[in-house]
């Protein structure tokens, strides 16, 4: 039958939340058959349960409960996979990876998604995707071995890990054989790629001490060709490899000291733009703000020359963030406004509206707290509020209304507007409290259901 949104409140309450909860372990670890018989009781068969979860997924999507939607997609993928509907399962698992607006902190969920999606690719004989997912899973398990305590079949997991390792070793053997042939034939470009590929495989195998040797050999062969374009591609690729190895110092050396001078000398604008963006992003992560700002400014200048609004918008936003970190607030304000001026109008996606909320709120914070200009700050906060209302984000609306009420009361001495925003904030608070009470009233029955599930599992 048609489900009321209220019917899903207990389920949504349980599934929502960015982090891992012990109760989630049951959902991640049990097979689809056990889930339907122990957890999701009361459904005549799995097809009815899948229909129920599909409706719940749509409801969570409308309510913008991202983590609930993520976990529902994961569960739907498991049930579809259990019924050998691998294409549908793949679609649900892939959606579960794309839904969250922020990075995963529930690493057991991420590992479970990787595991199940990789298994789905294996059943469909999609070897390339299987190994790509297995590589991510193995990397996650090696760094955080407890993130996937058990799977439906640990033998399958062990088989996957072993296959990945064997695949790397086999690839390394073939690469070295090809490398020997290219050396004998004098094919310099192919030889260069061979050295680089071998270095990359050693990185994947965790033998980082050998990566430097193979990258240096690739560089030496590339330089011997005298082909500037080829040399530039090799140097950038080497930087990318060290970036993926999380060896930031070596990545910076290849990007800044080796590849970038070649790009400048050869007037390769596109490569120069790419390298400046990579350097700015990498240095921002390392908190090298001043040098990062230099490269970010160059990226902005090049993007203007190229006439690419999207690249210019990204470059301006990064530069604004850097100036903010450098406490150069007027420049930060200028480039944030420049970023917004490059956004498409009208806004087409919720993500664009959310971006407006965040940037206008940041502008309000800069002008109010650092530039001490409450009038301009109020203007920015009102623009952020308008975007938050379009988005339906009540918490952002509450935060902005409270701030506006304070500014108009204490700084701009406008009692009427202060009262307006104060009353608006009270209304939103009442609405949020009502939601919280509704959820709380049904939490008891949901907890009882969880206890029943745990007893059933035991």
pLDDT digits (tens, 9 = 90+) for 118-139: 888 878 878 788 878 877 777 7
Q: What is the mean pLDDT of residues 222-249?
A: 90
| pTM for the whole structure | 0.63
Residues 321, 284: contact at Cβ < 8 Å?
A: yes
* Mean pLDDT of the 424-439 span: 80
Domain final residue, candidates 320, 342, 364: 342
Predicted pLDDT of residue 125:
76
Secondary structure E strands in 275-425: none
280: left (phi over 0), alpha (psi -120 to 50) or beta: alpha
pLDDT tens digits, one per residue of 59-108: 888 888 888 999 999 999 998 888 888 889 999 999 999 877 677 878 88
Phi-psi region of 346 (alpha: psi -120 to 50; beta: other; left: phi over 0): beta
444 and 325 belong to one structural domain: no
Report how far apart, in Å, the C-alpha atoms of 448 and of each of 29, 204, 283, 305, 438 are. 21, 46, 51, 63, 17
**Residues 58, 65: Cα–Cα separation, whole Å:** 10
Find the mean pLDDT for residues 181-206: 89
User: In the chain, what percentage of residues exceed pLDDT 90?
Assistant: 48
| Mean pLDDT confidence for 190-213 | 88
- Number of domains making up the chain: 4
Q: For position 233, what pLDDT does the model report?
A: 95
Predicted confidence (pLDDT) at residue 16 exceeds the cutoff of 70: yes
Residue 356 sits in the same domain as residue 455: yes
From CA 367, how far away is CA 391, in angstroms rounded?
24
Q: Where residue 305 sits, what CATH number does that domain have?
A: 1.25.40.10
**Domain region containing 228:** 162-267
pLDDT score for 158: 58
Residue 56: which CATH number? 1.25.40
Q: What one-character DSSP code corresponds to residue 36?
A: I
Output 112-119 pairs: Cβ under 8 A, ≥24 positions apart: 112/28, 112/29, 112/74, 112/148, 112/151, 113/74, 113/77, 114/140, 115/148, 115/151, 115/157, 115/160, 116/74, 116/77, 116/78, 116/81, 116/89, 117/77, 117/90, 117/93, 118/160, 119/81, 119/156, 119/160
Residues 242 and 140 placed together within one structural domain of the fold: no
DSSP symbol at 2:
P
Residue 157 lies inside a defined structural domain of this protein? no
**pLDDT (mean) for 348-366:** 90
Which of 214, 234, 267 is at the close of a domain? 267
- Per-residue confidence (pLDDT) for residue 144, from 0 to 100: 60
Q: Are residues 285 and 214 in the same domain?
A: no
State which of 60-74, 199-213, 346-360, 374-388 shows the largest mean pLDDT: 374-388
> What integer pLDDT is reported at residue 312 of this predicted model?
93
Domain boundary among 296, 321, 342: 342
CB neighbours of residue 56 within 10 Å:
23
Q: What is the per-residue pLDDT for 224?
A: 95
- pLDDT score recorded for residue 374: 96
In terms of domains, do 283 and 375 share one?
Answer: no
Asked if pLDDT for residue 441 goes beyond 90, the answer is: no
User: What are the CA-CA distances from residue 446 to residues 7, 23, 53, 55, 67 (Å)?
Assistant: 12, 12, 17, 19, 18
pLDDT at 455 over 70: no
pLDDT tens-digit profile of 29-72? 777 766 665 566 555 567 778 888 888 898 888 888 888 999 99
CB 317 within 8 A of CB 281: no
**450 pLDDT above the threshold of 50:** no
- Both 338 and 359 in one domain: the answer is no
Task: For residue 257, name the pLDDT band (cuts at 50, 70, 90).
Answer: very high
Of all residues in the chain, the percent with pLDDT exceeding 70 is 84
CB atoms within 10 A of CB 42: 8
pLDDT band (50, 70, 90) for residue 278:
very high
Poorest-pLDDT segment among 81-85, 241-245, 345-349: 345-349
**Rounded average pLDDT over 374-382:** 97
Whether residue 273 is predicted with pLDDT greater than 90 in this model: the reply is: yes
Distances (CA, A) of 82 to 76, 87, 426: 10, 12, 49
Query: Does 277 score more than 80 pLDDT?
Result: yes
* 169 lies in some domain: yes
My answer on whether 169 and 145 are in the same domain is: no
Domain shared by 442 and 418, yes or no: yes
């Amino acid at each position: 039958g048609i489900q009321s949104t209220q019917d899903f409140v207990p389920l949504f309450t349980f599934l929502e939340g960015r982090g891992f909860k012990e109760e989630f372990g049951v959902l991640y670890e049990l097979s689809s058959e056990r889930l339907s018989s122990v957890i999701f009781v009361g459904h005549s068969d799995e097809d009815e349960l899948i229909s129920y979860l599909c409706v719940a997924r749509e409801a969570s999507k409308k309510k913008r409960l991202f983590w609930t939607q993520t976990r529902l997609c994961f569960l739907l993928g498991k049930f579809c996979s259990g019924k050998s509907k691998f294409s549908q399962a793949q679609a649900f698992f892939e959606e579960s990876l794309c839904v969250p607006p922020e990075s995963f902190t529930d690493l057991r969920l991420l590992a479970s998604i990787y595991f199940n999606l990789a298994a789905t690719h294996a059943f469909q004989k999609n070897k390339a995707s299987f190994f790509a997912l297995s590589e991510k899973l193995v990397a996650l398990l090696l760094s955080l071995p407890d993130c996937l305590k058990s799977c439906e079949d640990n033998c399958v997991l062990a088989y996957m890990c072993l296959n990945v390792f064997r695949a790397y070793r086999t690839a390394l053997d073939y690469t070295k054989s090809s490398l020997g042939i290219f050396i004998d034939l004098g094919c310099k470009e192919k030889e260069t790629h061979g050295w680089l590929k071998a270095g990359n495989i050693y990185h994947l195998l965790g033998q980082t001490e050998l990566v430097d040797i193979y990258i240096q050999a690739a560089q030496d062969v590339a330089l011997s060709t005298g082909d500037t374009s080829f040399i530039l591609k090799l140097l950038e690729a080497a930087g990318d490899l060290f970036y993926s190895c999380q060896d930031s110092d070596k990545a910076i050396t290849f990007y800044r000291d080796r590849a970038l001078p070649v790009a400048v000398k050869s007037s390769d604008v596109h490569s120069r733009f790419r390298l400046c963006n990579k350097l700015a992003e990498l240095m921002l992560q390392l908190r090298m703000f001043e040098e990062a700002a230099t490269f970010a400014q160059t990226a902005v200048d090049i993007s203007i020359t190229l006439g690419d609004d999207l690249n210019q918008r990204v470059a301006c936003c990064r530069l604004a963030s850097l100036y903010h970190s450098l406490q150069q607030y007027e420049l930060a304000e200028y480039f944030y406004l420049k970023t917004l001026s490059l956004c498409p109008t009208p806004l087409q996606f919720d993500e664009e509206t959310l971006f407006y909320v965040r940037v206008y709120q940041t502008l309000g914070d800069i002008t109010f707290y650092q530039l001490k200009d409450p009038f301009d700050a109020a203007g920015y906060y009102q623009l952020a509020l308008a975007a938050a209302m379009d988005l339906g984000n009540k918490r952002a609306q509450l935060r902005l209304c409270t701030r506006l009420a304070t500014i108009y009361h204490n700084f701009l001495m406008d009692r009427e507007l202060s009262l307006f925003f104060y009353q608006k904030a009270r209304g939103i608070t009442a609405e949020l409290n009502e939601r919280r009470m509704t959820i709380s009233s049904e939490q008891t029955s949901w907890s009882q259901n969880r206890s029943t599930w745990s007893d059933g599992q035991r």
